[in-house]
Amino acid sequence: MSVEILSKFLLWCAVVNYAILIIWFVVFVFAREWVYEIHSKWYPISSEQFNAINYAGAAIYKILVLVFNLVPYIALQIIA
């Protein structure tokens, strides 16, 4: 596999993952109550816990995208 193909792959992975993060944000901002109602039927969870879990989940997801997509992409751009 060439460096160019791997670079394109990592870049597109990052784009798709950031699109997922944007969708997550939009749903959390505009449909938070609806999503909370669905999840509170399945699990006994308070609104504050729901907010904290979503915030932590988005933060962890963003860090993983940085570590596994963007950092390797930047490294490949430096060496190529």
- For residue range 13-34, list pLDDT tens digits in order: 999 999 999 999 999 999 999 9
Region 60-77: mean pLDDT is 97
What is the DSSP code (8-state) at residue 23?
Answer: H
Cα three-residue angle 74-69-52, rounded to 5 degrees: 125
Residue 46 DSSP code: -
Q: How far apart are CA 46 and CA 53, in angstroms?
A: 11
pLDDT tens digits along 41-61: 999 999 999 999 999 999 999
- Looking at residue 1, what is its pLDDT? 81
CA distance 28 to 64: 20
Rounded to two decimals, what is the model's pTM? 0.89
Contact 10, 69 (CB under 8 A): yes
pLDDT above 90 for 80:
no
